[in-house]
Structure 1
Amino acid sequence: MESTIASTKIVRGAIWVLLMLVAMGTLMMWIMMPTNTYRNHWLLSIRKKANNSTYIGTQGAKLLIYTFPVLFIATLSSVYLHLGKKLNDFQKMGSDGKKDMLARWKQPVLVKGPLGIVSLFELSFFVMFIALLVWSFSTYLHNSLSTITAASIAENGLKIKVWEYKLETAGFWLGIVGNIALAFLFFPVTRGSSVLPLFGLTSEASIKYHIWLGHIVMTLFTAHGVIFIIVWIITHQFSEMIQWDFTGVSNVAGELSLLAGLGLWLTTFPAVRRKMFEVFFYTHYLYLLFMFFFILHVGISYSFIMLPGFFLFLIDRYLRFLQSRHRVCLLSARVLPCDTLELNFSKSPGLKYNPTSIMFMNVPSISKLQWHPFTISSNSNLEPDRLSVIIKSEGSWTQKLYQILSSPSSVDRLEVSVEGPYGPVSSHFLRHDTLVMVSGGSGITPFFSIIREFIYLSTKLKSKTPQLILICAFKRSSELTMLNLLLPIAGTPSDLSNLRLQIEAYVTREKTPTTEDYSKHHKTVWLKPSPTDAPVSAILGPNSWLWLGAVIASSFVMFLILMGIITRYYIYPIDRNTNKNFSTSTKAVLHFLVMCICIAAAGSLAVLSNKSRNARDAKQIQNLSSTPAGSPSLGLDGGAAGMELESLPHQSLVQGTNVHFGERPDLKKMLFDCKGSSVGVLVCGPKRLRHDVAAICSSGLADNLHFESISFSW
């Protein structure tokens, strides 16, 4: 066993070195791209070798420089992650006591501002990315403007003034730089990405990067479009607005792409997104039109610069589509009086996920199109055949779901489709001596999965666990019943006996305890799933990383083969690699359609290969209609503020739990009082709460505090 682990580590190390070399080489090409050295020497040399092929055509150079390296990284990363999964990194990190060498880089340096909470690591990469854009634009512009003179304009047969031509040139290079930002736009929203985990990132934690990139992309493209329109108006070239060239750039396609992008962009601002979420949700589908007309606008050759990220996103999107076609087996729902639900699904035993993972849900009876993410509260090790999510009734969609399951005549079966789970590939909580979890309202839900993970480690593996402190703030005492969900539906308070768990609960809007026993309103609804309902399972099976790598590699190879055949026997006989005799738009559409077909074929084949295993797991569902014994219930007993919760027979569940009425936690004092060389501080809840905790951890007054925010928003 030791030799196997050692050899696996060596292989992973070699793969990591190779991946970093390819990544650094790709980055160097991005940096050199605007220079004359690249354009007049490197690119010409590569084109002589790559663009003369009768199979690949004139786009061979860009395909080789920009597309192939990124897809190679994505494929090899899948192997790297698969080997990491075999090593069971989470348990090993807990046993060897390793500290995070990048802890200081992960500390927040910006707390309040347009970027939200930003760590030193994130700020450094953001500054470097902006520097890349500024460098590219300034270099492109400097090299171009130096050659623009009245004589050169006349030589090209243009009837335009020098300053007008320079303005048009500036607009052109803004579009080129916008394409650089577009190349990174889809990586953060590729939920099943094999690239993000390589850098310790998850899709849900990278949403803010997508937001930053989206604003940058649309700012550059809008400036690009506005400048060209201004030049056309000044020079009376109104016909350019309706120009769709047979070869070259199509202005109409660019205008349609920009309009779709603007429609999408305007609904992303907080004032619109928070008040009219459904408008934001549906207009985001305009990305399909935006990308399609963008490819028609610039042609397929130049699209290969941004294509890798979009290619990986389409693979992920298609796999999610296949997973969402199935109805999953919903077994029961725990209904709490604080408008909160815990849904319990049947799960394939082979499905593994880490704490703080999320899952997207769709309930067709409420909306066939809307998908909403929810935190998974269960633990795949502690509950091998169950998966639970917690839902707080706060919007129209969740309110309808709560009404369906809490009504006296609740349904016997609820059709549900899911996508996921998605989450970190490993956990690092055992690295800390003390783990402090700060939550506000429904922000407590990610911490249930963490506590259940520690229950598993302490009871099953007999591992030493850190001191756990849960600081939770609620508006009303009825929300204290959410602590019911700390244990699985079949759990017992004795499961917590091996944990050093301290819970401090704060009820901010009630000064005295209520006399109402909310435990009487807590009920469990048992459902009767259909025999066709399947357990929640990984769409690509237990070896999903290897299958994902196979899908990426095979779909790209299929794309190259099919386009090679089409180019050799259809495009090349007409065009002869001149880019003058074959429609640029037709070529772009052909490439786009073939790409989608290859992704669908490779993805479908991989899913079908795993279908038999998933079918065997589905047959394990038995006796679903029987109603097990009721789950534990946590009650509230009246008393003075600061009293301990007492609710037999679960007194051990809340042992050491203090409830404070009419006050907010003194977070600074509580965090500074934490002992240990490494104190992990996790926060999930309202924006103000996250900012307050981040400010405390970044104040420099305590070197042992290590901050981490769990949130979809920024």
Structure 2
Amino acid sequence: MKFQASWQMFFLVVFVGYIFMWTMLPTKLYHNSWTPKLEESLNSTYFREQGTNLLLFSFPIMLIAVLGCVYLHLMKKSNYQSNRISLHPLRRPALVMAPLGIVNAVELTFAAMFVALLIWSLANYLHISFGHIHMYMIPGEKVWQEKFRSISLRLGYIGNTCWAFLFFPVARGSSLLPLLGLTSESSIKYHIWLGHISNTLFAAHAIGYIIFWAMTDQMILMLEWSSTYLSNVAGVIAFVVMLGMWVTSFDRVRRKAFEVFFYSHHLYTIFMFFYMLHVGVAYMCLILPGIFLFLIDRYLRFLQSRHKSRLVSTRLLPNGTLELTFAKNPDLSYSPASILFVRVPSICKLQWHPFTMISNSNLEPHTLSIAIKSEGSWTQKLYKQLSSSTTSSDRLEVSTEGPYGPASFNFLRHESLVMISGGSGIAPFISMIREIIHSTTTKSTIRADPNILLVSAFKNTTDLTILDLLLPFSGTSLNLSELQLQIEAYVTRENEKPLEDSKKQIQTKLFKPNPMDAPISPILGKNSWLCLATIISSSFVLFLITLGLVTRYRIYPVERRGENYHYSFKILWYMFLVCVCIFVAASVVLLWQKRKISAEGKQIQNFEYTKPTMSPASWLCGVDTELESLPHQSLVQSTKVHFGARPDLKRILLECKGSDVGVLVCGPKSMRHEVARICASGSAKNLHFESISFSW
């Protein structure tokens, strides 16, 4: 515990210092006193005026990212598990409302602090600029017009502050999110919040300048590409691209036209290019860490996605749900409720879709499974393609990225668990239940495993077949006698158990191995966190070295002669060096790991699977059959089906006894919000809420 606390204290001190520098950046003290002293000691012929920004705003986050990888490696190696403790009251839901969703007190506090930082920065920038307003006025310009221009300019400054944090939530494999106990899917809402705030500020910045130029008859400046200052044309192009991305990212557009959102959002590369040309090297150094770590993550994801994954089998459920089971390297471990990104070129060569893991790396060391509900056009095409196939030798070409999930998910710390799901929202709970099955079977924990109450709401009786996925193919060898599981299944659109229907059968298809496919393996090998630390540190050091050489022997000689080095050429050098250094460092590490990973992948056996002959869900659906499998019998005996009713969540939750009850919910937004409000009430102090949402 002392070892862990020391690391966490170090990370906290560095991060607080980083935030402190952002707080001081817009003040007079920083500009008039600190900056001259820092430039005198830090700026040189190798980094020029950017040495200060690189040290104060880039180095701290890169240091946390590198040491965070080392910390996560040590925690993984020691199999650290926290003791069972009650969650802090600040993590209880504090606000449940659209469009923010479910926000706990910690998130609300940090959001308020961030908004306060933006207001503080804008107020200081305007105070300084208004004090020197006459220095920037042109002949014939009025004071209020210059103040209007100054406000528009500073709004752009504040938008850049948002961009310093914008990319952290979307770097799926970064070490920063696990340090905070976050995942990419749970923190995507922070990216959405920051995106809307920054886009609002950038829009006000751009529109404000257009109005100012129109008032002062300077519209020609929109087409200016200065060699000594920022490019207005690049800013206009970035603004237009930003509007396209912003409009298509709203929830209503994203849900009704996902393809439009998906493809338009990839315009971020064009936006970033022209945005950097517009703001220049000074502001790029301020926001460099987020972009640097995101580019590393994006390049590694690209390399992983080039491999074809070996698909072992698929189970097709009559309700339109399918299970895909892949072969995996035993060294690949993941936490429950992780997600896997999947691309099927025969359906669409560009689209990637995230799906919940239902397998467990402890219980199933050689396979990995995901559940897919055919609701959208892409998933419906996939289900139709697999169901129309008649031979077991068919091959489905699939590429994967991930899995991504929390570094550790210690849901076993609670005395009891209440899992509430709606429809396909049961998927993340399947992997958790399998983890508890592994724990009860192997007695891998000293403390008693929690009692589990699974409350699932389904539309139709056929949806009950998804309960078959609670057990893997190897379920017949499992002993569930000590598993304390109670399942309350609610069928909302049918009032009684249907008669036997022979069409309600689960189809199981096995795929033969193909030499073009390979088991899913960790892209960076068994010690992935150490390899990631090597890539981050080596690429950043290489960037500093090459930047220093380019500045010293390419830029500085021109400026020493009193000539002007083109403003845009400097930022082009920065962007080029960042990309090249990441490519070189990551490629070297991956080539070093490739031979070892390939050798391990060839040793993975081709397992033989048999189709299950009995189905517990078939009994639940009304098919009168005898279950010979003991695990299936246990599953049926612990399941109670309610027809024509919805779960009374308030009654169920408030009747939960015990001082530490973990409440996990995954399903429609209305269900998550209802559970959050119940857990936030004063009469539910023993309930510890956690929402599992995969709404992208």
Q: TM-score range by the shorter chain?
A: over 0.9
C-alpha change, 1:447 and 1:425, in structure 2 (3 Å) is same
Deviation at 1:623, TM superposition (A): 3.7
Aligned to 2:677: 695
1:78 to 51, 63, 69: 69
Show CA shifts across 1:616-654 (max 9, x none).
222123345x553436522444899xx999855532222
> 1:435 touches 1:680 (CA, 8 Å); kept in 2?
yes
Structure 2, unpaired ranges of 5+: none
Q: Could you give the per-residue CA deviations for residues 253-306 of structure 1, whole angstroms, max 9, x where no partner exists?
A: 111111111110000111211110000000001111111111100111221111
**Aligned pair partner of 2:117 in 132, 149, 163:** 132
The residue that corresponds to 2:146 in the other structure is 165
| Cα distance in 2, alignment partners of residues 462 and 592 from structure 1 | 49
Distance in 2 separating the partners of 1:247 and 1:498: 74
**Structure 1 residue 570: deviation in Å?**
1.2
Q: Quick one: structure 1 residues 388 and 211, their matched pair in 2 at CA, closer, same or farther if it must change by over 3 Å?
A: same
2:403 match: secondary structure: strand
3-state SS of paired residue (1:565): helix
Among 603, 612, 616, the alignment partner of 1:620 is: 603
| Contact 1:54 1:567 (C-alpha < 8 Å) held by counterparts | yes
User: 1:500 Cα shift?
Assistant: 0.3
Secondary structure of the corresponding residue to residue 475 of structure 2: coil
Name whichever of 274-283 and 587-596 sits farther off: 587-596
- State how far apart, in whole Å, the 2-side matches of 1:358 and 1:301 are: 37
**C-alpha contact (below 8 Å) 1:107/1:706 kept by paired residues:** yes
Of 484, 490, 505, 1:521 maps to 505
- Counterpart of 2:580, as a letter, is I
1:387-406 alignment runs, 5 A limit = 387-406=368-387
| Distance 1:528-1:568 versus aligned 2 partners, 3 A rule | same
AA at the equivalent of 1:570? R
Name the counterpart of 2:41.
49
1:485 aligns with 2:477: no
Question: Structure 1 residues 462, 35: CA separation in 2 closer, same or farther (over 3 Å shift)?
Answer: closer
Question: In structure 1, how many angstroms separate the alpha carbons of the residues matched to 2:558 and 2:591?
Answer: 39
Does the CA-based 8 Å contact 1:46-1:61 persist in structure 2?
A: yes
Matched, 1:633 2:625: no
Shift of 1:72: 0.9
2:359 pairs with 1:378: yes
Rounded Cα–Cα distance in structure 2 between residues aligned with 1:55 and 1:263 = 39
Kindly provide the CA deviation profile for residues 140-193 of structure 1, in whole angstroms up to 9, marking residues without a partner as x. 1122213324xx456xx5441110000000001000010000111000111011
* Correspondence for 1:535: 519
Equivalent-residue separation in structure 2 for 1:119 and 1:657 (angstroms): 33
User: Does the C-alpha gap of structure 1 residues 632 and 713 become closer, same or farther in structure 2, counting only changes over 3 Å?
Assistant: same
Query: Kindly tell me: are residues 513 and 602 of structure 1, through their superposed partners in 2, closer, same or farther at Cα, counting changes over 3 Å?
Result: same
TM-aligned CA distance change 1:295 to 1:703, over 3 Å: same
The answer to whether residue 185 in structure 2 is matched with residue 193 in structure 1 is no
Where structure 1 has 5 or more consecutive residues not aligned to the other structure, the ranges are 1-8
1:587 paired residue among 549, 566, 570: 570
Instruction: Decide whether the 8 Å contact of 1:248 with 1:298 is kept in 2.
Output: no
- The residue that corresponds to 2:206 in the other structure is 225
For the structure 1 residues 682 and 549, does the alpha-carbon distance in structure 2 shift closer, same or farther, using more than 3 Å as the test? Answer: same
Tell me what 2:60 maps to: 69
Q: Deviations over 1:299-333 (max 9, x none)?
A: 11221111110110000000000100100111000
Give me the whole-angstrom Cα distance separating, in 2, the residues matched to 1:678 and 1:531: 50
How many Å separate the matches in 2 of 1:153 and 1:246? 20
| Distance verdict in 2 for CA 1:610–1:143, change over 3 Å | same
Q: Find the counterpart in structure 1 of residue 347 from structure 2.
A: 366
Task: Answer yes or no: is 1:99 the counterpart of 2:90.
Answer: no
Q: How many Å apart are 1:549 and its aligned residue?
A: 1.0
Structure 1 residues 364 and 19, CA gap change in structure 2 (3 angstroms): same
**SS at the partner of 2:526?**
coil
Structure-2 change in CA distance of 1:623 and 1:311 (3 Å): closer
1:256-295 pair list within 5 angstroms: 256-295=237-276
Q: 2:665 aligns with which of 680, 683, 686?
A: 683
Whether the 8 Å contact between 2:357 and 2:371 is mirrored in structure 1 is yes
Matched-pair contact (CA < 8 Å) for 1:188–1:210: yes
CA distance in 2, matches of 1:54, 1:546: 34
Matched, 1:443 2:425: yes
* Partner of residue 213, structure 1: 194
Cα 1:502–1:29, aligned 2, differ >3 Å: closer, same or farther? same
Partner of 1:3: none
Q: Is the 8 A contact 2:620 2:641 kept in 1?
A: no
Q: 2:473 aligns to what SS in structure 1? A: coil
Whole-Å Cα distance in 1 between the matches of residues 642 and 535 of structure 2?
53
Q: In the aligned structure 1, how far is the partner of 2:183 from the partner of 2:139?
A: 51
Name the SS of the counterpart of 1:188 in structure 2. helix
The DSSP-based 3-state class of the residue aligned with 1:201 is coil
- Report the residue type matching 1:285 in the other structure: H
Cα deviation, residue 606, structure 1? 1.6
Residue type of the alignment partner of 1:424:
P
Cα RMSD (Å) of the superposition?
Answer: 2.0
Does structure 1 conserve the Cα–Cα contact (< 8 Å) formed by 2:441 and 2:478? no
Residue 127 of structure 2 corresponds to: 142
| Separation in 2, partners of 1:212, 1:408 | 44
> Contact conserved, 1:344 with 1:389, CA < 8 A, in 2?
yes
Q: Please say if residues 508 and 611 of structure 2, whose CA atoms lie closer than 8 Å, have aligned partners that are also in contact.
A: no
Deviation of the 1:593 alpha carbon: 1.0
Measured after TM superposition, the shift of residue 564 of structure 1 is 1.4
The match for 2:645 is 663
Instruction: Specify whether residues 704 and 401 from structure 1 end up closer, same or farther in structure 2 by C-alpha distance, changes over 3 A only.
Output: same
* Secondary structure of 1:166 counterpart: helix
Distance 1:637 1:13 in 2: 51
Question: How far is the alpha carbon of 1:37 from its aligned partner?
Answer: 0.2
Q: Does 1:599 align with 2:582?
A: yes
Q: Give the Cα–Cα distance (whole angstroms) in 1 for the partners of residues 521 and 682 of structure 2.
A: 44
2:533 to 549, 568, 579: 549
Cα shift at 1:201: 1.1
What is the CA distance between 1:674 and its match in structure 2? 1.0
Is residue 359–residue 368 contact of structure 2 (8 Å, CA) maintained in 1?
Answer: yes
Task: Indicate yes or no: 2:416 matched with 1:434.
Answer: yes
Shift of 1:541: 1.1
CA distance in 2, matches of 1:253, 1:166: 24
Cα distance in structure 1, aligned partners of 2:206 and 2:620: 65
Counterpart residue number, 1:59:
50
| SS of aligned partner of 1:344 | strand
Contact 2:418–2:455 (Cα < 8 Å) also in 1: yes
Partner of 1:422: 404
Distance 1:434 1:11, change over 3 A: closer
TM-score (norm 2): 0.96
CA pair 589-636 structure 1, distance change in 2 beyond 3 A: same
SS in 2 for 1:490: helix
CA contact (8 A) 2:466 2:617 kept: no
Equivalent position of 1:246 in the other structure: 227
Contact 1:153–1:160 (Cα < 8 Å) also in 2: no
Question: Is the CA contact (8 Å cut-off) linking 1:57 and 1:577 kept in structure 2?
Answer: no
User: Cα deviations across residues 236-262 of structure 1 (Å, max 9, x unaligned)?
Assistant: 001110000002111011111111111
Asked whether the 8 Å contact 1:349–1:617 carries over to 2, the reply is no
CA contact (8 A) 1:519 1:635 kept: no
Q: Structure 1 stretch 626-635 or stretch 692-701: which is displaced more?
A: 626-635
Aligned counterparts of 2:255 and 2:467: Cα–Cα separation in 1? 28
Contact 1:493–1:653 (Cα < 8 Å) also in 2: no
Q: Does 1:609 align with 2:585?
A: no
If the length of structure 1 is used for normalisation, what is the TM-score? Answer: 0.94
Relative to structure 1, the CA distance from residue 420 to residue 214 in structure 2 (aligned partners, 3 Å threshold; closer, same or farther) is: same
